[in-house]
Chains A and B, each alone.
Chain A
Amino acid sequence: MSPADATRQQSFFRSRLFTTDHRVIGVQYLVLALVAVAIGTVLSLLMRIHLVWPDWPLPLHGPILPEDYLALVTIHGTIMLFFVLTTAPQAGFGNLILPAQIGSRGMAFPFLNAASFWMTAVALLTLLSSTFVPGGAAISGWTAYPPLSAIASAGPGQAMGMDLWLASIALFAVASTASSINILTTIIRNRCHGMTWERLPLTVWGWFTAALLSVIAFSVLLAAILLLFCDRHAGTSFFLPTGDLVNGVLHRGGDGSPLLWLHLFWFFGHPEVYIAILPGMGLTSMVLANFSHRRVFAYRTMIATTLLIGFLGILLWGHHMFVAGLNPFASSAFSVSTMAIALPAAAKVLSWLATTWRSSPTYTTAMLFALGFVSLFITGGLTGPILAQPILDEYLHNTFFVVAHFHLIMAMAGIFGLYAATYYWFPLLTATRSHPGRLLSEPLGRWHFWLTLVGAYATFLPMHFTGLAGEPRHYAQLTGVPGAGGALSPAGALLSHTLPLNLHITYAAIFLACAQIVFLFNLIRSLRRGVVAPPNPWQATTLEWHPAFNPFLAATASHIQVIAVHRAPCHYQSSPSGETFLPQWEPDIVVQAALESAINPKPE
Chain B
Amino acid sequence: MILTSTLPLVARLHVVAAFLGPWGLPPNASEHGLALDHHLLLNLWIALGLLVLIHVILGVGLLGGRRAEPADLWRVEYLPLAALAILFAFLTVKAERLWAAARYTGADPAALQVEVTGEQFAWYFRYPGPDATFGPTRAQLVAPGEGNPLGVDPADAHGADDEVTSELVLPAGREVDLRLKAQDVIHGFSVPAMRLKQNAVPGQTIHIHFTPTTPGTYAILCTQLCGLGHYRMNATLRVLPPDEFASWLASKRRAAP
Question: A602–B62 Cα gap in the complex (Å)?
Answer: 24
- A48, chain B: closest CB distance, angstroms: 14
Contact with B along A135-157 (1 / 0, CB 8 A): 00001110001111001001110
User: Do A465 and B24 touch across chains, with their CB atoms under 8 A apart?
Assistant: yes
A403 is an interface residue with CB less than 8 A from chain B: no
User: Do B204 and A335 touch across chains, with their CB atoms under 8 A apart?
Assistant: no
- A386, chain B: closest CB distance, angstroms: 5
Question: A244–B51 Cα gap in the complex (Å)?
Answer: 47
B192 is an interface residue with CB less than 8 A from chain A: yes
B110 is an interface residue with CB less than 8 A from chain A: no
Which of the residues B19, B89, B196 comes within 8 Å of A497, measured between beta carbons?
A: B19
What chain B residues lie within 8 Å of A385 (beta carbons)?
A: 43, 47, 88, 91
Contact with A along B100-114 (1 / 0, CB 8 A): 101110000000000
User: Do A335 and B92 touch across chains, with their CB atoms under 8 A apart?
Assistant: yes
- A47, chain B: closest CB distance, angstroms: 12
* Residues A324 and B199 in contact in the complex (CB < 8 Å), given A343-B85, A391-B98: yes
Which of the residues B23, B184, B231, B232 comes within 8 Å of A245, measured between beta carbons?
A: B184
User: Do A389 and B43 touch across chains, with their CB atoms under 8 A apart?
Assistant: yes
Contact with B along A150-191 (1 / 0, CB 8 A): 010011100000000000000000000000000000000000
Q: Closest B-chain residue to A374, C-beta based? A: B58
B213 is an interface residue with CB less than 8 A from chain A: no
B169 is an interface residue with CB less than 8 A from chain A: no
User: Do A298 and B77 touch across chains, with their CB atoms under 8 A apart?
Assistant: yes
Question: A402–B237 Cα gap in the complex (Å)?
Answer: 25
User: Do A358 and B225 touch across chains, with their CB atoms under 8 A apart?
Assistant: no
Question: A491–B189 Cα gap in the complex (Å)?
Answer: 13
User: Do B99 and A67 touch across chains, with their CB atoms under 8 A apart?
Assistant: no
- B119, chain A: closest CB distance, angstroms: 8
Question: A328–B71 Cα gap in the complex (Å)?
Answer: 44
A332 is an interface residue with CB less than 8 A from chain B: yes
Q: Which residues of B (210-253) have their CB < 8 Å from a CB of A?
A: 217-232, 234-237
Q: Which residues of A (315-345) have their CB < 8 Å from a CB of B?
A: 323-325, 328-329, 331-332, 335-336, 339, 342-343
List the count of A-B residue pairs having beta carbons below 8 Å apart: 312
What chain A residues lie within 8 Å of B232 (beta carbons)?
A: 66, 477, 480-481
* Residues A247 and B202 in contact in the complex (CB < 8 Å), given A343-B88, A357-B70, A378-B55: no
Question: A483–B236 Cα gap in the complex (Å)?
Answer: 9
* Residues A469 and B20 in contact in the complex (CB < 8 Å), given A247-B184, A357-B61, A358-B67: yes
Q: Closest A-chain residue to B89, C-beta based? A: A339
User: Do B55 and A489 touch across chains, with their CB atoms under 8 A apart?
Assistant: no
What chain A residues lie within 8 Å of B138 (beta carbons)?
A: 243
* Residues A395 and B203 in contact in the complex (CB < 8 Å), given A350-B80, A504-B5, A508-B2: no
Question: A481–B188 Cα gap in the complex (Å)?
Answer: 17
User: Do A155 and B236 touch across chains, with their CB atoms under 8 A apart?
Assistant: no
What chain B residues lie within 8 Å of A243 (beta carbons)?
A: 138-139, 203
Question: A378–B84 Cα gap in the complex (Å)?
Answer: 14
- B188, chain A: closest CB distance, angstroms: 6
Question: A257–B201 Cα gap in the complex (Å)?
Answer: 9
User: Do A147 and B64 touch across chains, with their CB atoms under 8 A apart?
Assistant: no
Q: Closest B-chain residue to A66, C-beta based? A: B228
User: Do B234 and A258 touch across chains, with their CB atoms under 8 A apart?
Assistant: no
Which of the residues A154, A156, A250, A343 comes within 8 Å of B140, measured between beta carbons?
A: A250
A40 is an interface residue with CB less than 8 A from chain B: no
Which of the residues A65, A154, A156, A395 comes within 8 Å of B184, measured between beta carbons?
A: A154
What chain A residues lie within 8 Å of B139 (beta carbons)?
A: 243-245, 250
* Residues A325 and B204 in contact in the complex (CB < 8 Å), given A358-B66, A477-B232, A503-B9: yes
Q: Which residues of B (11-31) have their CB < 8 Å from a CB of A?
A: 12-13, 16, 19-20, 23-26
B179 is an interface residue with CB less than 8 A from chain A: no
A297 is an interface residue with CB less than 8 A from chain B: yes
User: Do B227 and A154 touch across chains, with their CB atoms under 8 A apart?
Assistant: yes
Q: Which residues of B (175-198) have their CB < 8 Å from a CB of A?
A: 183-186, 188, 190, 192, 195-198
Which of the residues B66, B201, B206 comes within 8 Å of A359, measured between beta carbons?
A: B66
Q: Contact residue range for chain A?
A: 35 or more
Q: Closest B-chain residue to A71, C-beta based? A: B228
What chain A residues lie within 8 Å of B140 (beta carbons)?
A: 250
User: Do A297 and B69 touch across chains, with their CB atoms under 8 A apart?
Assistant: yes
Which of the residues A255, A375, A478, A602 comes within 8 Å of B203, measured between beta carbons?
A: A255
Which of the residues A67, A247, A339, A398 comes within 8 Å of B88, measured between beta carbons?
A: A339
What chain A residues lie within 8 Å of B226 (beta carbons)?
A: 148
Contact with A along B137-177 (1 / 0, CB 8 A): 01110100000000000000000000000000000000000
Question: A65–B232 Cα gap in the complex (Å)?
Answer: 13
- B174, chain A: closest CB distance, angstroms: 21
What chain A residues lie within 8 Å of B196 (beta carbons)?
A: 394
Q: Closest B-chain residue to A458, C-beta based? A: B2
User: Do A394 and B51 touch across chains, with their CB atoms under 8 A apart?
Assistant: no
User: Do B203 and A244 touch across chains, with their CB atoms under 8 A apart?
Assistant: yes
What chain A residues lie within 8 Å of B98 (beta carbons)?
A: 391
Question: A489–B221 Cα gap in the complex (Å)?
Answer: 11
User: Do B104 and A328 touch across chains, with their CB atoms under 8 A apart?
Assistant: yes
A490 is an interface residue with CB less than 8 A from chain B: yes
Which of the residues B51, B69, B186 comes within 8 Å of A295, measured between beta carbons?
A: B69
* Residues A477 and B9 in contact in the complex (CB < 8 Å), given A349-B54, A375-B55: no
Which of the residues A70, A355, A500, A504 comes within 8 Å of B228, measured between beta carbons?
A: A70
A9 is an interface residue with CB less than 8 A from chain B: no
What chain B residues lie within 8 Å of A65 (beta carbons)?
A: 228
User: Do B228 and A353 touch across chains, with their CB atoms under 8 A apart?
Assistant: no
B88, B198, B203, B236: which has the most chain A beta carbons within 10 Å?
B203
- A156, chain B: closest CB distance, angstroms: 6
User: Do A336 and B184 touch across chains, with their CB atoms under 8 A apart?
Assistant: no
Question: A301–B80 Cα gap in the complex (Å)?
Answer: 14
Q: Closest B-chain residue to A389, C-beta based? A: B95
Question: A245–B117 Cα gap in the complex (Å)?
Answer: 13
Question: A382–B235 Cα gap in the complex (Å)?
Answer: 34
User: Do B221 and A491 touch across chains, with their CB atoms under 8 A apart?
Assistant: yes
B34 is an interface residue with CB less than 8 A from chain A: no
What chain B residues lie within 8 Å of A331 (beta carbons)?
A: 99, 103
Q: Closest B-chain residue to A481, C-beta based? A: B232
CB-defined A-B contacts under 8 Å, sample of 13:
A244-B202, A245-B184, A325-B204, A331-B99, A343-B88, A357-B69, A378-B54, A468-B24, A489-B234, A497-B20, A503-B5, A507-B2, A508-B2
8 tightest A-B CB contacts, nearest first: A241-B203, A491-B234, A389-B95, A357-B61, A491-B219, A328-B103, A490-B219, A470-B192
Residues of B within 8 A of A (CB): 1-2, 5-6, 9, 12-13, 16, 19-20, 23-26, 36, 39-40, 43-44, 47, 50-51, 54-55, 57-58, 61-62, 64-67, 69-71, 73, 76-77, 80-81, 84-85, 88-89, 91-92, 95-96, 98-100, 102-104, 119-120, 138-140, 142, 183-186, 188, 190, 192, 195-199, 201-204, 206, 217-232, 234-237
Residues of A within 8 A of B (CB): 65-67, 70, 73, 139-141, 145-148, 151, 154-156, 240-247, 250, 255-259, 294-295, 297-298, 301, 323-325, 328-329, 331-332, 335-336, 339, 342-343, 346-347, 349-351, 353-361, 371, 374-375, 378-379, 382-383, 385-386, 389-399, 465-466, 468-470, 472-478, 480-481, 483, 489-495, 497, 500-501, 503-504, 507-508, 511, 602
List 17 additional contacts besides A148-B186, A350-B76, A353-B58; criterion CB under 8 Å. Answer: A65-B228, A156-B228, A243-B138, A243-B203, A257-B201, A301-B73, A335-B99, A336-B92, A343-B85, A346-B80, A357-B61, A357-B70, A360-B65, A391-B98, A394-B102, A398-B188, A476-B228
